[in-house]
Amino acid sequence: MSTFALVDGNSFYASCERVFRPDLLGRPIIVLSNNDGCVVARSAEAKALGIPAFLPFYQVQQLCHKHRVAVFSSNYALYGDMSRRMMNVLSRFAPQQEIYSIDECFLDVTGIPDLDSHGHRIRQAVWQGLGIPTCVGMGSSKTLAKLANHVAKKRPEWNGVFEWDWLTPREADRLLAEFAVGEVWGIGRRIAHKLTQMNIHSALDLKQADPRHIKRKFNVVMERTVAELNGAPCLALEDVAPAKQQIISSRSFSRLVRNLPALSASISHHVARAAEKLRAQGCVAGLLGVSIRTNPFRELGQYHGYTCVPLIHPSADTLLLNHAAQAALRAIWRPEFSYHKAGIILMDIGTPAIQQRDLFSPLPDPKRAKLMAAIDKLNRNFGSGTVKLGAEGLSEDWRMRQDKKSPCYTTRVDEVARVK
C-alpha cells in the first residue's frame, strides 16, 4: 500500500518575509496580491485578528493600521527562490517528489519506517535550512494526505505532523466528521453548496456517499475524490510536471490605460513571459489569444475585447508570437475605452516534432531558436528582465502597484540583507 505525504509551508509568503525581518517576530504579517489588490497570505497572528483571505486590501486597511499589521506587496522573486530552496531540501526525504504549488509538494513515503519521526525530521530540516515552519500530512491517497495536512495545521496536539494510520478506523471517521465537506481537496464553494443540499455536510459524509450516485450527479472527478477519501489512491504522484495545455499571462494595471502604445507594450511583455514558459516545457503553440478589458467594478462603458489568431507555423518564438499578438490587439482595441487589464493566452500547445509545412510562407529561421535559448539563459542567470523586447518599452507607468515590496534578499546582490 502506498503512502503519500503533503508538506507545505505555513503562511508561506508571510513566513518568507519574516525570515529576513526577525524584528517582526510575533507581529501579524499579511502579503498582498499583485497590484496590492487582495490579501493572499496571513501569518498566524493576522489570522487570529480575523483578517480573511482574498479580501480586497482596502476593506481591512483600517484593521491593519489599528493592530500594527506589517503589510507587504508580493515579492515573487523572493518567494520563488525560497520555494526552490525548500523543494530542494524536501527532495532528500523521498525517492519521488511532485511540486504541486509554490509552497507545497507531495512526497512518496511508501515503505519508509517510522513515519512519525520522518515527518519531524522533514520539518526540522526545512526550519534549519530556511527558517520556514511547515506541516506534514500523510495518508494512503493524495486527498487524504491533503486532509491530514489540515489536521497537522489545525490541531496543535500533533506538533505539525499527522498520519491517518495512527488512528483506529473509528477514530479516523470521527475526525473526518469534524471537517466540512468544502475543506476536502477539489471541493470548492459551489460543489460544497450542492453537496450540502444533498445532505452531505462533512468529509465523512462524502466518504460514505454512494460513488455511483456521486458520479451521476457530478462527474468522474468527484467519484475519484470519494474513492480517495476511502483510501483508494486514484491520483498518481507526478514527478515530472505534465506539459501545460494553455499558458496565460495577464495582469491588471496600476491605473486605467487608454492609449494603444501602452497596451501594446504590456501585450509584448505578456507574450515574452508566456513564450518563456512555453519554451521551458519544450513546446510550441498553434493559437494565441489576446484579451483587454475595462474595469468590471466600475459602472460605465464595459468592454471586453478578445480574439485569437491561429499561427501558420506553431511556434515558441517571442518575436513571431508578438507579431501575431499585436495584430490581434489592433483588431480588438477601441479608442473610446480605458482599460484595466490586458493579457494573452497560448493554446493548441504541442511538441514541435510534427510541423505542417505551408506552401506560401517560409519556414521559421532555425537561428531564431538559438536566439531564444540565449535570451532564456541570460534571464535565468542574471534575473528575469535582463534581456527583453524593445517593444516591451522602457516606460513603467502601466506596471503594477507595489508600494510595500520587500527587497529581493536572495536574488539581487544589491538588495541582500545587511547586518549592522
Beta carbon of residue 385, minimum distance to DNA (angstroms, whole number): 15
Question: Mask of contacts with DNA, 8-27, x by CB under 7 A?
Answer: ----x---------------
| Beta strand pairing call for 39-42 and 247-257 | unpaired
Q: Among 126-134, 156-164, 237-245, 360-368, which window interacts with DNA (CB under 7 A)? A: 237-245
Q: Which of 88, 124, 245, 302 binds DNA (CB under 7 A)?
A: 245
Q: Smallest Cα–Cα separation from 43: which of 60, 29, 32?
A: 29
Residues 6+ apart with CB under 8 A from 81: 408, 410, 411
Site for DNA contains 154 (CB under 7 A):
no
Q: Are 46 and 161 in contact (CB under 8 A)?
A: no
104's enclosing H/E stretch is strand 104-108
Site for DNA contains 379 (CB under 7 A):
no
Beta carbon of residue 117, minimum distance to DNA (angstroms, whole number): 26
Number of residues that bind DNA (CB under 7 A): 50
Site for DNA contains 351 (CB under 7 A):
no
* CA 310 to each of CA 274, 289, 324: distance values in angstroms, whole numbers, following the listed order: 16, 9, 9
* HSE of 333, CA atoms in CB hemisphere, 13 A: 18
Q: Which of 199, 297, 359, 420 binds DNA (CB under 7 A)?
A: 297
Alpha helices, H only, 254-352? 260-280, 318-332
Q: Smallest Cα–Cα separation from 18: which of 126, 128, 135, 132?
A: 132
Site for DNA contains 286 (CB under 7 A):
no
Site for DNA contains 198 (CB under 7 A):
no
Site for DNA contains 33 (CB under 7 A):
yes
Q: Is 135 helix (H, G, I), strand (E, B) or coil?
A: strand
Q: Smallest Cα–Cα separation from 5: which of 104, 89, 86, 101?
A: 104
Alpha helices, H only, 184-334? 189-197, 203-207, 211-217, 220-229, 260-280, 318-332
Site for DNA contains 192 (CB under 7 A):
yes
Site for DNA contains 242 (CB under 7 A):
yes
Question: Residue 301, Cβ neighbours under 10 Å: how many?
Answer: 11
Site for DNA contains 219 (CB under 7 A):
yes
Which of 298/377 has CB closer to DNA? 298
Site for DNA contains 84 (CB under 7 A):
no
Site for DNA contains 360 (CB under 7 A):
no
Site for DNA contains 40 (CB under 7 A):
yes
Which of 123/146 has CB closer to DNA? 146
Q: Which of 42, 207, 224, 341 binds DNA (CB under 7 A)?
A: 341
Q: Which residues bind DNA (CB under 7 A)?
A: 12, 33-35, 37-38, 40, 54, 56-58, 61, 100-104, 146, 184-192, 219, 221, 242, 244-252, 277, 287, 295, 297-298, 304, 306, 308, 341, 343, 400
